[in-house]
Structures are given as C-alpha cells and as structure tokens.
Amino acid sequence: MRVGLFGGSFNPIHFGHLRSAEEQREALGLDLVYFVPASSPPHKTEGGLAPAEHRLQMVRLATKGNRHFMVSDVEIKRAGQSYTIDTVRFFLATLRQPSALFLLMGADQFNELDTWKNADELVAACNLAVHTRLSEGDSASAPRFSLAALKRFGYIKCDDHYVHPSEHTLSFVDTTILPISATEIRRKLQRGQSINYLLPGDVVDYIQRHQLY
Ligand code: ATP
C-alpha cells in the first residue's frame, strides 16, 4: 500500500489543492492520499483562519467523490501547533504494514525543511514527494528547489529520484499549479465577490451557510 500525506491549512480547500493531489497520486502510484488539515500551522499566523472543525468539514466535502482521497483529523484532534513529525509518527504506528509513506510538500516547504521540528528524523522516517510547478518555458533558468537542502540531508541522486541514507526516496513531481489561492478566495469573500468555480460547489455552499471568512 502506497500512502500519501497532504497537509495544509486548507483555509479553504480549493481546486488547486485537489488537482495537485490528484496528479501526485497518479505520478507516484499512490493507493491513498490523506488530506491532513492543520489545527494551527506553525508557519502561519492565526489571522483569518477558520475554525478547525469547519476546515475539516470542507475538506471532507471536497474529497468525498474520490475513493483514493481520505481525510485525517489527527492534527485537529491533537490541537495546539501541528508538527509534521508527530503526524508521520502517528501514521507509521497506525497504518497496516507493509505501507510506504510519502509526505507530499511544495518546493518552498522543502527548501526550508531544515527549520522543521525533528527534520532529520522526518526525512529518515518516510519518503518525500516535492511538487514543483509544471515547466513553463520561462522558468527554465530558475532552480525550483534548493541543492543545499538536498546536500544537508545527505540525498544522493539515483535515476530520476534521490535516495536518503535510510533508503527512503525523494521525488520531484511536476504538477499543474492552478492560479487559485486560498488567500484570494478569502479576499473575494470579504469584498462580496463570487468564488464560484474556484472550489467545489458543496464547499462554496458550506462557506455561505456558515458565513465563514
Ligand atoms: P493560503 O493562501 O491560505 O496561504 P495555501 O493554499 O498556500 O493557502 P495551504 O492550504 O497550507 O496553503 O496549502 C497546502 C498545500 O497546497 C501547500 O503544499 C501548497 O504548496 C499547495 N497549494 C496551494 N495552492 C495551490 C495551487 N493553486 N495549486 C497547487 N498546489 C497548491
């Protein structure tokens, strides 16, 4: 069983998140992708963050039609600051073996992985899949991930991926980054503008019914 963990504030979840998760699932041959909404993301300020139970419910609504998509409330139940290492430990302890765990993250997150809690334990405990922007011609000269981060954790290149001394892998997955952001969705709501077609209709209804943002 190949299992992906996709964490985020999902404030709210939108088609950019969903499409990215779907493409990563296909590229990595994952059987399941767990969406893991953070209770209180350590790298973000609390301003404008909808209550965790609402964000969780919106993720449930958005993913309900996809049998490969699951939702975990482990970080929300734990409350307080959400640390990825605690979530990975939880999944390793509870998944039925043999399972390969893939932590899905953006290139920006990978580049600052060094600042994450127990980063060395994290990279030794699971596979990493870093989603990068699908090549766009003009981005050819810009490095999309930091070579320093690769070196820092001792990754060695092997075919089309990298291998950690623990034998866990690091893969870069090109995904379509739809020009949709949760920040922009919240901004539109504050201005009284439409958010239709940026996120699933059930989530739009939920936001309106509960007067979020
Ligand atoms: P905010 O605008 O509130 O900061 P965000 O979408 O950047 O929201 P998260 O909800 O924490 O923040 O994002 C979770 C993950 O989804 C991150 O890894 C981020 O790289 C990825 N992501 C966010 N927006 C998109 C998008 N439009 N397309 C693909 N991936 C995205």
34-82 pLDDT, tens per residue? 999 998 755 555 568 999 999 999 999 999 999 999 999 999 998 778 7
Regarding the beta carbon of 200 and ligand 1, being less than 6 Å apart is answered no
pTM: predicted TM-score of the whole model, two decimal places: 0.92
12 Cβ inside 6 Å of ligand 1: no
Cα–Cα distance list, 2 to 15, 36, 45, 120 (Å): 23, 16, 33, 22
Task: Find where tokens 């404008």 sit.
Answer: 48
Q: Of 86, 78, 115, 81, give the one whose Cα is nearest residue 103.
A: 86
Contact (Cβ atoms closer than 8 angstroms) between residue 132 and residue 144: yes
Cα 84-87-92 angle, rounded to 5 deg: 125
Is the Cβ atom of 177 under 6 angstroms away from ligand 1?
A: yes
C-beta 107 within 6 A of ligand 1? no
DSSP state letters, 129-194: EEEEE---STTTTS-SS-HHHHHHTT-EEETTEEE-TTS-EEEEEEE---S--HHHHHHHHHTT--
- Return the percentage of the chain with pLDDT > 90, whole number: 70
Gap from CA of 20 to ligand 1 centroid (Å): 9
**At 141, is the pLDDT very low, low, confident or very high (cuts 50, 70, 90)?**
very low
CA dihedral for 110, 116, 120, 124, sign (positive or negative): negative
Among the residue ranges 42-56, 91-105, 154-168, 193-207, the one predicted with the least confidence is 42-56
The structural domains of the chain, with segments of one domain joined by +, span 2-180
Given pLDDT bands bounded at 50, 70 and 90, which one contains residue 100? very high
127 in ligand 1 pocket by Cβ < 6 Å? no
- Residue 151 Cα, ligand 1 centroid: separation in angstroms? 26
- For ligand 1, is residue 20 a contact (CB within 6 Å)? yes
pLDDT for 9-32, tens place per residue? 999 999 999 999 999 999 999 999
Q: Which atom of ligand 1 is nearest to the CA of 38?
A: 11
pLDDT tens, residue by residue, 104-113 = 998 888 888 9
Beta bridge partners of residue 32, listed in sequence order: 3
pLDDT score, position 53 = 94
**Paired tokens of 36:** 């893991």
Residue 140 binned pLDDT confidence (cut-offs 50, 70, 90): very low
Ligand 1 neighbourhood includes 176 CB (under 6 angstroms): no
Q: Which residue has the tokens 């490969």?
A: 68
- Whole-angstrom distance, CA of residue 163 vs CA of residue 155: 5
Percent of the chain with pLDDT over 70: 90
Query: Under CATH, which architecture does the 2-180 domain have?
Result: 3-Layer(aba) Sandwich (3.40)
